[in-house]
Chains A and B, each alone.
Chain A
Amino acid sequence: MGSGTRLGIDVGGTFTDVVVVTGATTARGKVRSTPDDPGRAVVDACELAAAEVGTDLATLLGGVERFGLGTTVVTNVLATHTGRRLGLLTTHGFEDLVPLARGSPVSEGGWLVPPPSLVDRTRIVGIHERIDRDGRVLQAVDADEVRAAAAHLVDGDGVDALVVSFLWSFRNPTNEDAARAALADAIPGVPVVVGSEMAPVIREYERTQFALLNAYVGGALDWLTPLEAELRARGLVAPIVLTHSNGGATTGAGARAVPIGLAQSGPAAGAAAATQLARAMGDADVVTCDLGGTSLDVALVHGGESLRRTRGSLLGHWTSLSMVDVDSVGSGGGSVAWVDPVGAIRVGPRSAGADPGPACYGRGGEEPTLTDALVVLGYLDPARFLDGRMPLDGALAEAACSTLGAALGLGAAETAWGIREVALATMARAVRTRIASRGLVASDLAVLAFGGCGGLFAGDIALDAGASRAVVPELAPVFSAHGAATAALRRERSRSIASRFPGDADALRHVLGELAKAVVDDLAGDGVAVDDVAIGLEADLRFERQGSELTVPVTTGADGRAVLDDLAERFTAEYVQRFGAGAVAMGVAVEVMTLRAVGTAGAADDAPTRGARSARMAAPPPASMRTVRLHRDHGVEVPVHRRADLASGAAFAGPALVDAGDTTVWVAAGCHARVDALGALVLEVAP
């Protein structure tokens, strides 16, 4: 792809961010979101972007070669329980399986409450049909029974979307197909989602959940079509692509076909931007820390790729879905500090949210939050918060900390110090666990921090987790929009195998070939030429009967055929890296559970040369000094640099603060800071 303009927009609940990248120059902006019609804020953001780069909207849109969109609207449907009213046709005798939700019950005031079901038990109807494990039809579908059930649900119970999901349908979809055919006559106009079509993988619960989720959020992206039309009318030529939960981009049509794929669009866009940056940094391994108002989201980039998972929980709904593997802990800027029964300071997971927000916002919040602690300690300058557009009230922050501390015999400043330490311990725990879950070595990793207050904790998280450096990118506050602008188009196809490895190796190769071809066709449908597609093959392997699998890339030989000879060995090597040599028992067979082809195209390749470094030079003198309560009992005068004063190559040692207007970066003592060629602030941790 050439060096045309890339435009990335991240539609959040409160703000819609925009980033414009043209060659080496970037512009960014923020407008208020319009939840009733998200497309309106997108147009607003485009107009703002045009103004920022000094042109008109038509000219900007006409020159855009990538229009990337990340959005939380699908997530919001799940969070607010405002999806479609669903009915489910499933195998008779198994009607209870979906409401008997998988995943942990949630404690509400000490009561263990099962997670919510996407479909009420009264709207689940058993159909007398059965396929066995070998794919044989033991009982065929009776179309009359299906039609009667559908009539009962749609006419009698007001269901506005139907899901069909039968046992073993991924092995033989005959019965699901027959049911769908019957429904097409019976209930024209009512959307029907079929399990085997959405996710042809073993495990009926996850497969059914995936179909239910797609049906539930269906319609959440209806605003895309009019938006695309409007932007076309205003000069846009490039198609709109959306950031999928797997960190790749998908077309508008692809997103509407499988809308739940966008459930983690926001975090995935951040991960996509991180992947770009990691590549630009020379394929560094990175742990990303997106620190916002309510939570810290942690993900990994390893070997130039975001690490993904093939199943997981979406707001309490367990399902199969290829997604960037993100852990979230309730420790963000708005997290509320409290004292637990044993007399320890705790921070989060409850958040003061945007309203009333932290005490220092002056909107009536009285409980101290992490942001209040940062104000009291001097990390945040109340007068210059968000470039001075939103001054904070330091006295209110201090009063809130003082009240909490009084019960513990601590003063306001010492309480604030404790709040920050405790929050940091929670963040470090999340980062350590994330790293450990993939068997990676912390010292090989860089902490990449973004989000509202990521820069204030990046260095300390790196120190605590044992990482070698922390990176705060220039676009940290609008990082997800940047990811939407740069993510590669990505299509995946997978098939359940569930047999001993290698078994019939030629059959496996044949499946991989079919999957690869299907992916190329998918991308062709997205408008990508065959030659522009990069295909990657993967296998999910495990030792016989294990509960979870490892994904291992499958290489191809000079003849273009998949190389399977060394796959078991590479699986074992990866296994040893994660879990230790002592974890491997001799003589246990390896199973191949799933084969997958991944096609990508259109990644941004306009990042500066890999590993580029500018000459190191001394930073200009700091703009000011500020007292920061670094120690439990006393503060230290630290220099404050203005980000705008720091050119590429500028270097200085901590402790220091860098004020970037809409965000602040803390350079801890023991860190050496440098502005790299990409404009990112790199904090090297002294060994």
Chain B
Amino acid sequence: VTRIDPAVAAPTAAAEPGDPILLEVLRSRLQAVVDEAALAIEQTAVSPIVAEGKDYSSNVLDAAGGLLVGGGKVEYKYAGARNVVAATIARHAATLAPGDFFAANDPHSGGGNHPQDIEICQPVFVGAGDDAVLVGWIAASAHLVDVGGMTFGSWAPDATECFQEAVRFPPVRLFRAGEQQTDVWDMFLTNVRLPQLVEMDVRGLVAGCHVATRKLVSVVESLGLDAYRETTAALCDAAERVLRDRIRRIADGTYAMDGWVEWGDERYHLPCRLEVTGDALRVDFTGAPGQVPHFVNSKHFIVRGQIVADTRALIGQDLPFCEGLYRPIEVICPGGTIVDSVPPAPIASAHLDVAMNATALATQCLQLALAATDDADLPRLPSGPSGQAALANHSWSYTTPSGAIDGWVLSEAFQPGSSAGAGHDGSDLFANLVGTQHVLDFVDVEITEAWYPLHVLGKAAAPGAHGAGCHRSGSGCRMAYRVSGDEHLAGAMFAMRESLPIGGVAGGQPGAPTEFVVHRADGRAVLDAHAAGATLAPGEVFEFQAGSGGGWGDPLDRDPDLVARDVQIGRLTREQAEATYGVVLVADAGPDDADAGAAVPADATATTDRRAAIRRERLAAATPAARPIAPGVAVDPDRPAAPLHHGIVRRGRLAVSVGTGAVLAVAPDHWTDGCPVLVEERETASGRRWLSRTYLDPLDGRALHVEAVPLDAPRSFTTAPRHWTDA
């Protein structure tokens, strides 16, 4: 039945490509296609990471491999869909047939975000026989619990080459013209642990693609091929046009931020530089170190895909996630470096350590640019980097009495707390404060205990004063469990932010680092965050704490009632409330004081005094400003204020603190040059040291910006809009 007759649908002058009615009708129908595929995947997949953790995606692409629409909860996976279709076209364009299903998992040759993410794609044809026309692609991806290699879960910290990590394959046919290629299935499944589980998950993706392909054919047929092609192209063009319009309104200039990728005691400096020029963004990682013999190496398509997704989250959530959004965003990743590695670079965390850090740097550069932009109508969500830059993971495996291998990668372990934002505390056990990605649900304790030989002792939002701020970060997951059976477990840790936490924004403090600890009969041992070879014996306890993002704004500006509440629920101790937030609780609250959970209010006078004292102490302890402003330099009050940074405006050639009116710098010097700097050395649980460096308002000691950097690093960020450097 033809619902939309193109002849009826397009008779008037307005009914051209980009028609306001057809655009939405088609978009709605394409969304239905991927939603139905996602439904099939979620209902058929077996492994908890897919079925309960929702680590999967589904996409419709055009015939050339351009992204049209996505489904599922992990937008970062859409980059893998584009990659596998491009690689399949490159290898198999001449022999494509209806009923072909391809699979790839090697990021170096057409796979997705890392070897564990299998990418399935299927060409979609309309018409039959020789008249069949390729109209597009369906792609789907899911995280498989194991794809072989030297470690259960295929995250092998000891691997120095991709050959050791996993069974690797470029796009190969799982079905040829509808015929199952049993040889390929056999070869793949022979090389993985838990072959039944893996097979079920792959078949779930096949089911999803199968459903979506049928639906896409009916959409194309009902609309007519030409109208379908024109309207999908118009959809992408319109999304591109709107995104470019928004970028054009961002203050031109250069914004830079340095990050560090960790591997035990090694730290790799990763510089990021954003150029905003007219209606385009250029993110440049030139200067990134060469690829390393650890699995953190990434690929250009992964880094770019994540940056596009997070740029959309900040300035384009209302735009359809399609090919048009990629066009205005150029990402430079020099070949052979950690941001675009080549074989034999190991690559099991290609979307995590390097890529998440690179993405966090790029989005923070974009936040610097937005903070320097004077346009009230531009959508903006001022916030710190996604907590995904602190994702923390671990796996344990064991041999069952029957000789089979079983094990887990707990999805809770992924869950850091998110950074705070302007007007918003971060979320607990949920990485993102902004955007549309709903990454990873929890698994019930009872389900975890039912499946595995472990007994959970506790699971909570980690307490502590991490990510402090006027708005504080969320907390990562803190969980402890004991081996409850006779099993001896072998483990691997693979986490970010073991030695350097995520920094704060606008005076908020850095977040929590990641910790892994084993409690044995002979005491407590801290595990390295990038290491295989951990062991856990019956009765021993494993405890971990995922890190968190940073806070927003000076913690001394936080509402004292909210601090008192955090004390009440055990998130903060009284000492932390006083030392970090300057909040003094009422001293003598009677006998209930000792009662856990009792509400004790803040003492307003004592808090005001304590906060003033802390500000004075900061200024007294601070290193003098790099270029203090001479007392004679005065602000001309007639000069209009243009935003330069959070809490800092430009008046003429002067950078001025909004809070006190203090002059901080004269253009083109960096606005921090006139700030006294409070430098404090910190140490993580694993004994690794870092610097907290706070740029202070010279008049009142308020924190304007706090960065978390290695001991020898200079200032890690630069905000240089043209309106400042040319002032």
Contacts and interface: CB of A to CB of B under 8 A. Distances in A.
Interface of A: 92-97, 99-100, 102-105, 107, 110-112, 114, 121-122, 125, 132-133, 149, 152, 156-157, 167-168, 202-206, 339-346, 408-410, 414, 417-418, 421-422, 425-426, 428-429, 432-433, 436-437, 463-464, 466, 498, 543-548, 578-580, 582-585, 587-588, 631-633, 670, 685
B29 A422 contact: no
B313 to A, nearest CB: 8
Interface residues of B, number: 98
Interface in B357-408: 379, 381
B22 to A, nearest CB: 9
Interface string B32-58: 100110011011111110111000000
A417 B211 CA distance: 31
B198 to A, nearest CB: 9
Given A100-B442, A168-B449, A632-B15, 10 more contacts: A104-B438, A105-B427, A133-B450, A202-B444, A436-B39, A436-B211, A543-B46, A579-B207, A580-B206, A582-B203
Contacts of B451: 545
Contacts of A585: 196, 199-200, 203
Interface of B: 1, 3-4, 8-15, 18, 20-21, 23-25, 27-29, 31-32, 35-36, 39-40, 42-48, 50-52, 73, 180, 196-197, 199-200, 203-204, 206-207, 210-211, 215, 235, 238-239, 241-242, 313, 317-320, 379, 381, 421, 424, 427-430, 432-436, 438, 441-442, 444-447, 449-451, 455, 457-461, 484, 565, 568-569, 592, 595-599
Contact of A685 (B1, B12, B211): B1
Contacts of A417: 21
Contacts of B23: 342-344
A433 B427 contact: no
Nearest to A408: B20
Contacts of B428: 96, 99-100
B443 to A, nearest CB: 9
A579 B44 contact: yes
Given A96-B460, A633-B11, A204 B445 contact: yes
B318 A205 contact: no
18 contacts: A92-B458, A93-B459, A100-B461, A107-B317, A110-B434, A114-B427, A114-B430, A133-B450, A203-B447, A340-B24, A342-B238, A408-B20, A421-B4, A422-B28, A436-B36, A548-B43, A583-B204, A587-B196
A341 B318 contact: yes
B460 A94 contact: yes
Closest 8 CB pairs of A and B: A547-B51, A93-B458, A418-B21, A342-B238, A344-B24, A344-B23, A583-B207, A429-B32
A464 B215 CA distance: 12
A121 B1 CA distance: 54
Contacts of B429: 100
Residue of A94, A167, A203, A579 ringed by the most chain B CB atoms within 10 A: A579
Nearest to A318: B441
Contacts of B318: 340-341
Contacts of A588: 46, 196, 200
Nearest to B432: A112
B488 to A, nearest CB: 20
A102 B52 CA distance: 11
Residue of A102, A110, A340, A410 ringed by the most chain B CB atoms within 10 A: A110
B130 to A, nearest CB: 27
B25 to A, nearest CB: 4
Nearest to B478: A96
A92 B596 CA distance: 12
Contacts of A99: 428
Contacts of A410: 14, 20
A94 B459 contact: yes
A349 to B, nearest CB: 13
Nearest to B30: A429
A546 B46 contact: yes
B445 A94 contact: yes
Contacts of B21: 344-345, 417-418, 421-422, 632
Given A344-B27, A632-B8, A633-B11, A102 B441 contact: yes
A61 B93 CA distance: 75
Contacts of A121: 569
Given A543-B46, A582-B206, A583-B207, A344 B20 contact: yes
A425 B459 CA distance: 44
Residue of A92, A93, A152, A498 ringed by the most chain B CB atoms within 10 A: A93
Nearest to A205: B444
Contact of B238 (A168, A204, A343, A587): A343
B45 A547 contact: yes
B319 A342 contact: yes
A341 B598 contact: no
Contacts of B50: 547
A100 B317 CA distance: 25
A48 B27 CA distance: 48
Nearest to A410: B14
B20 A102 contact: no
B28 A579 contact: no
Given A156-B598, A585-B200, A432 B459 contact: no
B457 A93 contact: yes
Nearest to B201: A585
B597 A632 contact: no
Given A105-B427, A417-B21, A579 B43 contact: yes
B36 A432 contact: yes
B433 to A, nearest CB: 6
Contact of B446 (A168, A340, A670): A168
A583 B206 contact: yes
A255 to B, nearest CB: 28
Given A152-B595, A429-B28, A436-B39, A464 B442 contact: no
A545 B197 contact: yes
Nearest to A630: B8
Contacts of B211: 436, 580
Contacts of B206: 580, 582-583
A420 to B, nearest CB: 10
A14 B180 CA distance: 58
A176 B627 CA distance: 66
A111 B180 CA distance: 45
Contacts of A548: 42-43, 51
A343 B203 CA distance: 39
Nearest to B459: A94
Contact of B599 (A122, A339, A579): A122
B12 A414 contact: yes
A583 B36 CA distance: 15
B124 to A, nearest CB: 16
A463 B1 CA distance: 7
A414 B47 contact: no
Nearest to B25: A425
A433 B30 CA distance: 12
B701 to A, nearest CB: 30
Contact of A204 (B12, B317, B446, B569): B446
A103 B457 CA distance: 24
A466 B459 CA distance: 48
A544 B51 CA distance: 12
A343 B18 CA distance: 8
A418 B3 CA distance: 14
A629 to B, nearest CB: 12
A103 B238 CA distance: 32
A463 B430 CA distance: 42
Nearest to A549: B43
Contacts of B238: 342-344
A152 B25 contact: no
Contact of B40 (A422, A426, A579): A579
Contacts of A580: 40, 206-207, 210-211
A442 to B, nearest CB: 10
Contact of B11 (A149, A167, A205, A632): A632
